[in-house]
Structures are given as structure tokens and as C-alpha cells.
């Protein structure tokens, strides 16, 4: 069985990233969202994350967080860092979510690595000196 995906962010970034991915891929049912509101702080964000974890139980999941060292990252780390069924990655972006939608990888560590690689590849500099970006006319 393919692991689930949990998106965590400050504000509505995680929710909106999922919405954008669904514009491209169609409905995605195995993705959960934890959006930290300004008033949530550590405790409120932890409560939201724990609610998702309760729903998932022992189901493996990749936790994609927006920012290394931020509150959503800290919550995920404090709660799931030593849980072998959960793998935390940072730098959440749209390419990761789209990759998740087409992936058939069932191992949570391998899936986390694939999403991380895809996310990194999606970050590029585009300009006159970029040989990798050629537009055919």
C-alpha cells in the first residue's frame, strides 16, 4: 500500500498547494493538510497534527513541511522524528505533490526520497546563461 502524504505549513500554503495540484491531477484522496493559523502556535498546530495522526494510526506517511525549523516542522519533528512509519521532508512545493499523485512507490523512505528529489529538481534558475532551458519555437 502506498504511504499517505501529510502537507504542513504556515498559513494556507499546504491547503492551496493541494488545491493547485488537484487542478492538474484531479482529486487526490490520500493527502492530509495541517495549516497553522497565526493564533495556533505550537500547541494548536500540534493538536491539528495529532488529529491527522490519530486518523492514520500506523499507516506510513511522508510529512512534507514548508520550512525547516518553523513551527510546523518542529511539531512534526517532536511528534514523528523517531516513528519509522513517518518520514519528514522540508521545502514543500507543488512538484512534490504532483509527483506523489503519480508515484507507485510503497516504501515510505523511498517515497520521501523521490519527493525530495523531485522538489529539488523543480527549483531552477531560468535565464540567458541557463543551457538547460531552451524553448523550441
List the chain domain ranges: 4-121
Q: Are the beta carbons of 74 and 40 closer than 8 angstroms?
A: no
Bridge partners of residue 31, in order along the sequence: 5
Q: CA of 27: how far to CAs of 16, 63, 64, in Å?
A: 14, 19, 19
pLDDT value for 127: 86
Q: Are the beta carbons of 90 and 33 closer than 8 angstroms?
A: no
Give the residue ranges of the chain where pLDDT is below 70.
129-137
Q: Helix H segments across 11-107?
A: 13-25, 41-56, 71-80, 94-102
> CATH for 4-121, among 3.40.50.510, 3.40.50.10320, 3.40.50.300, 3.30.300.160?
3.40.50.510
pLDDT value for 130: 57
* Residue with grid cell 502524504, as numbered in its chain: 5
pLDDT value for 137: 59
Amino acid at each position: 500500500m502506498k504511504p499517505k502524504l501529510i502537507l504542513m505549513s504556515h498559513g494556507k500554503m499546504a491547503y492551496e498547494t493541494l488545491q493547485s495540484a488537484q487542478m492538474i491531477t484531479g482529486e487526490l484522496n490520500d493527502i492530509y493538510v495541517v495549516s497553522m493559523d497565526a493564533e495556533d502556535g505550537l500547541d494548536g498546530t500540534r493538536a491539528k497534527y495529532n488529529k491527522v495522526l490519530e486518523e492514520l494510526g500506523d499507516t506510513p506517511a511522508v510529512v512534507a513541511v514548508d520550512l525547516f525549523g518553523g513551527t510546523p516542522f518542529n511539531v512534526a519533528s517532536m511528534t514523528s522524528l523517531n516513528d519509522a512509519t513517518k518520514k519528514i521532508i522540508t521545502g514543500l512545493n507543488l512538484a512534490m505533490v504532483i509527483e506523489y499523485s503519480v508515484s507507485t512507490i510503497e516504501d515510505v523512505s523511498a517515497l520521501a526520497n523521490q519527493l525530495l528529489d523531485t522538489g529539488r529538481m523543480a527549483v531552477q534558475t531560468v535565464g540567458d546563461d541557463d543551457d538547460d532551458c531552451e524553448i523550441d519555437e
